[in-house]
Amino acid sequence: MSDIFAMDGYEADLAVGFSKLNYRLLDEDAAPVSPQSYPEVVVEEHISETTLDGLETHIFKKTTLFGEPIHGSVFPSVKKDRNYVESEPTSDSDTVADLLPRSIPILTRRQSSASRFSSSYEVELHDSFVSASLNRRHLVKHYRPKLTDFETIKVLGQGSYGKVLLVREKSTGRLFAQKQLQKASLVINESNEIHEKNYQRTLNEKTILEKVNHPNIVKLFYAFQDNNKVYLILEYLDGGEVFHHLAQQRYLSEKDASFYIAQIILALRYLHLNLKVIYRDLKPENCMLNSYGHLVLTDFGLSKVSTDESDRKHSMIGTAQYMAPEVIKGESYDFSVDWWSLGCVAYDMLTGGPPFTGHTNEKIMDKIVHSKKFLKFPFYLSLDAKDFLRKLLQPNPQKRFDIDNDFEKLKQHRFFRYLDWEMLVDETNYEDIIPPILPVITDPVLAENFDEEFTNMPFTPPQSSLLCTDSDVLHVKGFTYTNESFLASVYAAKS
């Protein structure tokens, strides 16, 4: 401001200029007075102050020999406010700009009737004040969510251990998916002994998700617990399941399927290479769409961190139709089991069903173990699609397509000939890419893209429950979590 409205050297010019001004009386009925009837005008004081609006003002007080002040001329900073208007010079009187060698931009403020001639204010601060930015950092660091902070709206899904609910955070109005797990599932018997595997899986999901930062993997915002349950507050994927949309057209074209298969590949490679996580539960129900139509992986309850290259012995776990042969046979396995599961999901997208089916899990598993005998492809699949599926559904893990290490080779496969891999990999272009399926969302609260079997399901409103303490038998140590970067963005948006 000082560069635009510099006042150095203007005091003397103003003194001379004001002596030549042709002043008019405010009373229009009074006779005009000649300049000679006024005594010499001098500048007595230059005041610089900052008003409550945060605008710096320069005020010049002018007095006459009769001791009556002429109203101060105010020159605000260059930043214009909507309460300021430029003064318009009249044609029948001289202005300061006409009399001085350099022009001064003059702004006048509309004065309120309560304080017409005032140029400064005094405000009493009765309460202590802390900067909003300091308060924000304190809140982000110490905020601990609880069940009563969220309003339950609908049921989105249900599993063996608990439900997934659509909830609204009361303080912000934001929608989340609340995954809740019964602590009773962690108890192995009446003696309150902890089921180590269930306990570890519960903790693993939270531990993995708090490290994740990928657009194709669900985000975790909060984790907390009470006496009865543990809660994960997750990203609400209002596009619903991919296969909810597939039900309307039975299966996807190879062009459309290649897009979603590519997004699954990007998510799995991130888990394998960055977090050393074996997903182990890739299936259609865990492939969701966000509001833009992009695929996002959810449910990490069966995932496992495999940090040691020599540690290849893992449990037989997963969903039967999508389990790899080595898992079923109880053999050691590694990240390649996820690529077998990808082959099953890709087959499902292209044909409308998994490659191995049966009335019981035993029959399904038998077909998977003897996949060379039972794997069949429908006639309408292209040679490129069949070749890609065969490479993934290879029963020998040593011969299976190793996408983690052969990613460049994968990108050259003709099945992905419609894709621009460079644009898909670049996360900055994420929202600019138009996916094959654009979910219809008239109101996110309605959960229109979820099965009515769940959304119409009754639920018990949450009741205030005591927070779990360290001394409780079922206290899950290290479970509480707050996504501080998310909270910081929320408070920044409010300020």
Q: CA-CA distance, 336 to 279, in Å (whole number)?
A: 10
Q: In this structure, are residues 43 and 18 in contact, taking their beta carbons and an 8 Å threshold? A: yes
Q: CA-CA distance, 318 to 330, in Å (whole number)?
A: 12
**H helix runs in 34-159, sequence order:** 96-99, 132-142
CB neighbour class for 16 (10 Å; exposed up to 12, middle 13-18, buried from 19): exposed
Reduce the DSSP state of residue 437 to 3 states and report it: coil
Q: CA-CA distance, 80 to 106, in Å (whole number)?
A: 11
Q: CA-CA distance, 81 to 72, in Å (whole number)?
A: 20
Q: CA-CA distance, 166 to 230, in Å (whole number)?
A: 16
Residue tagged 């990808």 (tokens): 342
Q: Are strands 42-50 and 56-63 parallel, antiparallel or unpaired?
A: antiparallel
Concatenated DSSP letters of 312-323: ------S-GGG-
The helix (H) or strand (E) run that includes residue 349 is: helix 336-351
Q: In this structure, are residues 169 and 176 in contact, taking their beta carbons and an 8 Å threshold? A: yes
Q: CA-CA distance, 106 to 89, in Å (whole number)?
A: 10
Listed in sequence order, the residues at least 6 apart from 425 whose beta carbon sits closer than 8 Å to its beta carbon are 266
Residues annotated as part of the active site = 281
Q: Name the β-bridge partners of 48.
A: 58
Listed in sequence order, the residues at least 6 apart from 271 whose beta carbon sits closer than 8 Å to its beta carbon are 217, 277, 278, 279, 303, 338
How many CB atoms neighbour CB 305 within 10 A?
A: 15
* Residues 242, 247, 249: CA angle, nearest 5 degrees: 100
Nearest to 58 by CA among 109, 126, 20, 97: 109
Q: CA-CA distance, 211 to 274, in Å (whole number)?
A: 10
